[in-house]
Amino acid sequence: MNKDIEKVQHLLFLWMCHYDKINYDTIKRYCEYLNIQFNLQITEHPAWTLFLPLFYAGNVDYCGSKSFKVTEPMMISHKRRHLFINKQPSVDGCEKLRPAIYRSEDPQNCELKQYTFNGKEILKHFPSVDSIISAFELSPKNDFSDLTFDNAPDQIGIAYTASKRYYFVCENRKVVEIPNWSINPDSVNVAYQYSRVLGKKSNGNYDVEQRKLSVNSFRFPIMLYRVLMVASMLEGQCPYKESGNYIFPGISKSIVKELDRILCKSIHYE
């Protein structure tokens, strides 16, 4: 990650710590100010570069009404490794992985909320993307002339109007309306995953020998990202972005198996 951007992300995080919750429009304006103040030269949507990574990583969370708040500090452990979210531990050898995320291998006695991590068990509770889409509200829409489809030739899967109102056309031509991000920030992301399934496209690749997972970074679900990020970090690795993909090193085959179930068997094994 660009060190200047990482520094400014940390400043953004500290600014948010002063508030109970902050409206996204206010966050966007502050990101625009930071972009100019620190000459980051982000050409469009500074909040996408500065704020969204904090949201994806779990430093901040959505609290409704287009507002966000800093999450409560916590410690997440697996075997001998510990992650500290939103709180730097006072121990030697602590490694900073990202803004307000730290890793240590030393035994810890702290007052933070503590969780034991098991990625496979967490993912077992996630429904598959097709079942999520089928549970969305039915739409009476049957005229697709104003829609742009991700799978344009077949007019199936996710589609949207010029005003960014999202729909999903299922294989049986049933149409559902996808909730606005102000209701569920992950709903459109989930719809894109299932749309790729219907379009016979891969949602990711897994290198079995190297235990490395690669997924398309465009509209990847936030909750899935968080589980995979923590899994990678607790294996002594750190996820990164490369050529339009999120790369998660150190991911076990058992976690990928659950992810593949969620994504309707659209992960390619190498």
Both 26 and 57 in one domain: the answer is yes
DSSP string, 186-201: THHHHHHHHHHHHTT-
The whole-angstrom separation of Cα 252 and Cα 119 is: 9
The whole-chain average pLDDT of the chain stands at 95
In a domain, 58, yes or no: yes
Residues 29 and 42 in one domain: yes
Question: Quick one: how far is CA 48 from the chain centroid?
Answer: 12
Report if residue 27 sits inside a domain.
Answer: yes
Segment 237-249 shows an average pLDDT of 96
pLDDT of 1 > 90? The answer is no
Asked if 35 and 47 touch (Cβ cutoff 8 Å), the reply is no
Lowest mean pLDDT among 10-14, 42-46, 110-114, 133-137: 110-114
Q: Are strands 113-116 and 95-98 parallel, antiparallel or unpaired?
A: unpaired
What residue numbers bound the domain in which 31 lies? 3-70
Distance between first and last Cα of the chain: 27
Residue with tokens 């002594």: 236
79 and 65 within one domain: no
In a domain, 92, yes or no: yes
User: Any idea what the Cα angle at residue 81 is, between residues 77 and 87, rounded to 5°?
Assistant: 65
Residue 247 lies in a domain: yes
Q: Looking at 88, 116, 144, which one is the last position of a domain?
A: 116
Same domain for 108 and 168, yes or no, is no
Cα–Cα distance for residue pair 159/155, rounded to 1 Å: 8
The count of structural domains within the chain is: 4
Q: Is residue 123 situated within a structural domain?
A: no
241, 180: one domain: no
Instruction: Calculate the dihedral angle through the C-alpha atoms of 107, 14, 52, 207, rounding to the nearest 10 degrees.
Output: -20
Q: Which strands sit side by side in the sheet containing 240-242, from one edge to the other?
A: 240-242, 245-249, 212-216, 204-207, 267-269
Q: Is residue 122 part of a domain?
A: no
Q: What angle do CA 207, 213, 215 make, to 5 degrees?
A: 125
> What was the pLDDT predicted at 188?
97
pLDDT digits (tens, 9 = 90+) for 183-240: 999 999 999 999 999 999 999 999 999 999 999 999 999 999 999 999 999 999 999 9
Q: Which residue type sits at 127?
A: P
pLDDT the model gives residue 92: 74
- Regarding beta strands 95-98 and 81-85, do their DSSP bridges make them parallel or antiparallel, or are they unpaired? unpaired
What value, to the nearest 5°, has the Cα angle with vertex 145 and ends 142 and 149?
90
Are residues 155 and 213 part of one domain? no
Please provide residue 232's backbone torsions phi and psi, each rounded to the nearest 5 degrees: -65, -45
Is the residue at 212 inside a domain?
A: yes
pLDDT recorded at residue 52: 96
Tokens of 122: 């967490």
211 and 264 fall within a common domain: yes
What would the mean pLDDT of 180-184 be, rounded to a whole number? 90
Q: How many residues does the chain have?
A: 270
256: CB partners within 8 A, 6+ apart: 206, 213, 267, 269
Nearest CA to 119 among 256, 266, 263, 221? Answer: 256
Closest CA to 27 of 43, 7, 50: 50
Give a yes or no: residue 121 inside a domain. no
Domain boundary among 84, 116, 148: 116
pLDDT at 108 over 70: no
Provide the 8-state DSSP code for 106: S
Last residue of a domain, one of 116, 140, 170: 116
pTM above 0.85, yes or no: yes
Rounded-to-integer distance, Cα 85 and Cα 99, Å? 9
- Same-domain status, 147 and 190: yes
